[in-house]
Amino acid sequence: MNRTLFFTVAAATMALSCSPSSRTDVTARDPHSFARPDEVVVTHLHLDVAVDFDRHQIAGTATLTLNNKTGARKVHLDTRDLEIASVTLVPESTVAVWKLGEPVPLLGRELTIEIGTSTKQVAIKYATSPSAAALQWLEPAQTAGKKKPFLFTQSQAILARTWVPCQDGPGVRMTYSARVTVPPDLLALMSASNPTELSKDGVYAFRMDQPIPSYLLALAVGDIAFRPIGKHSGVYAEPTVVDKAAWELADTERMIDAAEALYGPYRWDRYDIIVLPPSFPFGGMENPRLTFATPTILAGDRSLVSLVAHELAHSWSGNLVTNATWNDFWLNEGFTTYFENRIMESISGRPYSEMLAQLSLQDLRSTVAELGDTSAITRLKLDMAGRDPDEGVSDIAYNKGALFLRHLEESVGREAWDQFLRGWFDSNAFTSATTEEFVTYLQKRLIKGDVAFEQKLEIDAWIYKPGLPASLPVIASEEFAKVDAEVEKWKKGEKPEVLVVKGWTTHHWLHFLKALPQGLSVDQMVELDKAFRFTTSGNSEILTVWLQRAIQSSYRKADASLEKFLTSQGRRKFLKLLYAELVKSPEGLARAKAIYAKARPTYHSVSSSTIDGILGWEK
Ligand code: BES
Ligand code: ZN
């Protein structure tokens, strides 16, 4: 791999589209960043900023330490919707000449700063815009406590640039430190070393000494309390939520032990989780040392904690070894979904993790059916140049990626595979990797010239071809077979009350709901609801699948529950499934629009931009 050789974005795109299944890729410049890290790379960021809740603004100075590899006289950075006040060169302490390029949709504006050959740092005085896409400013009414405002960031994939001028591509790593000033009654936390109590003056200092890509920069500010879980882990949340959260997430320490036993030491010091207010647009976000999580995982029975296993696993796959560009996204999410499953197998047993695996496979099959098995977006290696990397977030990266690793595991045997995977994390720790680098490593360390074995693995089909390869693993969950048997009984006319459902977990119920025939009548919905009370389920995953069915069957008794769910939480995955179901009928579309008109201002931009698309919403 020749990292010094690169193309312009256009040439790189052309080269990729001419030979989509070529394995000899040269590391092209990241199509989603203006930075040129091959010339000058940022090695450390120091942020000195104040958080202003009245103006919805973060303002202050970002000081970037540079490694000028080529004696370049310019450094190129990413910004979007930032107001740049001035730039100073260090150690010269002179005011720098800088310019902002024309805005490019999604990418923002390139900030070019003229530097001297002995410039070590650039200090950029800047302020964010009230509409910065990474920031969600919550009114007190949108929090659990209802008294104080809340702010959180979401930098992945290319939104860090909307709150910090930086080299915003996953192929660049830097350490960081920060001094953040907030209103004195609020606590500030970052993806770094964190306080557990309020400071006297609202000033907090942070350090992240391990180099990370910019998409892992994170900040949360609010009325936040802390509860320890174990020696290395704890939970942050609003005071009225924190005890519930600590109970729900009590298994975290065991997950860390399980993960370390599988793939080597946890390298980030502490592992804490913050349970955010309900508008957080994701289930979880693997911000280092401090996973951000949705409160919709607080089901009250610890049944949705595989999400923590997932975000924890990113401490290896993603945070330690990072996808080099968003085209290699499956290296983050596919590896993590595989690893998540292995952690769950360790702590909850194989029958449990096989349910997770089979659900993944079912989801993957329906996604491929929906997208079409010749569609380019069903390839593991993506070509997202000129498109929003968000469009690459699908079951393909997660579940096709995870099943590919499961296929490799089953082909070489678990012991050899685990050793191999641990070696991958160790030998690439704190670096970014391309898909092609993974394939090379696979050839060197696992295939070792065995041509027949290589053919059996179908690597090219898995990574570069659309659809599902012939070597897709077969997954047969025994637990789900039991569920299927009960569904059959019901279909044959047995009453729901006589079905054998004792001891069923969330995942049994999810499978049950998905295995029911399409197009149930209202009477059938009533019967099921009476027996199992799905409409009032406090489990967000079960409720979502049930509400989808309620929409399909025009089961009006669930209307209020649907509206409440859509207006009380902003997790994109749930919103997307339900709004997409509603718009299938003209009457549903009208309802969706009425609900959305109220809910939209409470959603994060990540969610509202997706739902805008589904509803054809004019901003
Ligand atoms: N890193 C992702 C979230 C993400 C992906 C944010 C792409 C922005 C762009 C996170 O690890 C994730 O996958 N979250 C999932 C939960 C998981 C259990 C599948 C989610 O939010 O649903
Ligand atoms: Zn993930």
CA distance 175 to 164: 14
CA 133, 136, 139, 141 torsion-angle sign? positive
SS3 sequence, 358-420? Answer: HHHHHHHHHHHHHHCCCCHHHCCCCCCCCCCHHHHCCHHHHHHHHHHHHHHHHHHCHHHHHHH
Residue 153 in contact with ligand 1 by CB distance below 6 A: no
With beta carbons less than 8 A apart as the criterion, state whether 179 and 48 touch: yes
- Is a pLDDT exceeding 80 seen at residue 24? no
Residue 285 in contact with ligand 1 by CB distance below 6 A: yes
- Name the residue with the closest Cα to ligand 1, atom 11: 285
Over residues 535-564, the mean pLDDT reads 98
Q: Tell me if residue 409 is catalytic.
A: no
Cα 283 to averaged position of ligand 1 atoms, centre (Å): 6
Cα 180 to averaged position of ligand 2 atoms, centre (Å): 27
Identity at 480, one-letter amino acid code: F
- Is a pLDDT exceeding 80 seen at residue 6? no
- Is a pLDDT exceeding 90 seen at residue 127? yes
Q: Which of the 8 DSSP states describes residue 30?
A: P
Spot the catalytic one: 398, 579, 596, 603.
398
CA distance 504 to 404: 29
Paired residues of 205 in beta bridges: 179
Q: Which of 285, 326, 364, 384 to mutate to test the pocket of ligand 1 (most atoms within 8 A of CB)?
A: 285
- Is a pLDDT exceeding 90 seen at residue 23? no
Over residues 9-18, the mean pLDDT reads 36
Nearest C-alpha neighbor of 171 from the set 16, 331, 388, 290: 331
Residue labelled with tokens 């004195």: 184
- Is a pLDDT exceeding 50 seen at residue 27? no
- Is a pLDDT exceeding 50 seen at residue 11? no
CA distance 304 to 237: 17
Spot the catalytic one: 248, 286, 311, 345.
311
Q: Which helix (H) or strand (E) holds 221?
A: strand 219-222
More confident residue, 10 or 374: 374
- Name the residue with the closest Cα to ligand 1, atom 8: 156
CA distance 278 to 292: 12
User: Which letter, b or e, does each residue of 118-138 get, where b requires 16 or more Cβ atoms within 10 Å of its Cβ?
Assistant: ebebbbbbbbbbeebbbbbbb
Over residues 308-325, the mean pLDDT reads 98
Residue 296 in contact with ligand 1 by CB distance below 6 A: no
Give strand ranges (E) for 400-496.
Answer: 431-433
CA distance 273 to 295: 11
What confidence tier does 96 reach under pLDDT thresholds 50, 70, 90? very high
CA 11, 13, 14, 16 torsion-angle sign? positive
How big is the CA angle at 174 (ends 253 and 605), to the nearest 5 degrees? 75
What confidence tier does 28 reach under pLDDT thresholds 50, 70, 90? low
What confidence tier does 2 reach under pLDDT thresholds 50, 70, 90? very low
CA distance 352 to 421: 23
Q: Which of 389-393, 548-552, 580-584 has the lowest mean pLDDT?
A: 389-393
Residue 282 in contact with ligand 1 by CB distance below 6 A: yes
- Mean pLDDT of the residues in the chain: 95
CA distance 316 to 256: 11
Residue 310 in contact with ligand 1 by CB distance below 6 A: yes
CA distance 558 to 512: 19
With beta carbons less than 8 A apart as the criterion, state whether 217 and 289 touch: no
Q: What is the pLDDT of residues 441-500, one digit of tens each?
A: 999 999 999 999 999 999 999 999 999 999 999 999 999 999 999 999 999 999 999 999
Q: What is the pLDDT of residues 457-467, one digit of tens each?
A: 999 999 999 99
With beta carbons less than 8 A apart as the criterion, state whether 522 and 553 touch: yes
With beta carbons less than 8 A apart as the criterion, state whether 293 and 311 touch: yes
Q: What is the pLDDT of residues 403-426, one digit of tens each?
A: 999 999 999 999 999 999 999 999
Q: What is the pLDDT of residue 446?
A: 97
Which ligand minimizes its atom distance to the CA of 282? Answer: 1
Instruction: Work out the angle between the directed axes of helices 329-348 and 435-442 (0-180°, nearest 10).
Output: 60
Residue 311 in contact with ligand 1 by CB distance below 6 A: yes
With beta carbons less than 8 A apart as the criterion, state whether 573 and 283 touch: yes
The structure tokens listed for 155 are 């930098």
Q: What is the pLDDT of residue 153?
A: 98
Strands 290-293 and 271-275: parallel
With beta carbons less than 8 A apart as the criterion, state whether 499 and 371 touch: no
Cα 152 to averaged position of ligand 2 atoms, centre (Å): 18
Residue 258: strand, helix, or coil: helix
CA 239, 245, 251, 256 torsion-angle sign? negative
- Is a pLDDT exceeding 70 seen at residue 5? no
Note the residue count of the chain: 619
The structure tokens listed for 116 are 């001297």
Phi, psi of 416 (to 5 degrees): -65, -40
With beta carbons less than 8 A apart as the criterion, state whether 565 and 535 touch: no
- Is a pLDDT exceeding 80 seen at residue 14? no
Residue 286 in contact with ligand 1 by CB distance below 6 A: yes
Q: What is the pLDDT of residues 376-402, one digit of tens each?
A: 999 999 999 999 999 999 999 999 999
The structure tokens listed for 157 are 């994939």
CA distance 169 to 525: 48
CA distance 127 to 116: 25
> In this prediction, what percent of the chain has a pLDDT beyond 70?
95
What confidence tier does 29 reach under pLDDT thresholds 50, 70, 90? confident
Within a 13 Å sphere around the CA of 126, how many CA atoms are in the beta-carbon half?
27
- Name the residue with the closest Cα to ligand 1, atom 14: 284
Q: Which of the 8 DSSP states describes residue 3?
A: T
Region of 458 please: left (phi>0), alpha (psi -120 to 50) or beta: left
Which ligand minimizes its atom distance to the CA of 572? Answer: 1
Cα 310 to averaged position of ligand 2 atoms, centre (Å): 6
Give strand ranges (E) for 69-167.
Answer: 74-79, 83-90, 94-95, 98-100, 109-114, 121-127, 135-138, 150-153
Residue 255: strand, helix, or coil: helix
Q: Tell me if residue 126 is catalytic.
A: no
Q: What is the pLDDT of residues 262-294, one digit of tens each?
A: 999 999 999 999 999 999 999 999 999 999 999
Residue 572 in contact with ligand 1 by CB distance below 6 A: no
> In this prediction, what percent of the chain has a pLDDT beyond 90?
95
Over residues 536-560, the mean pLDDT reads 98
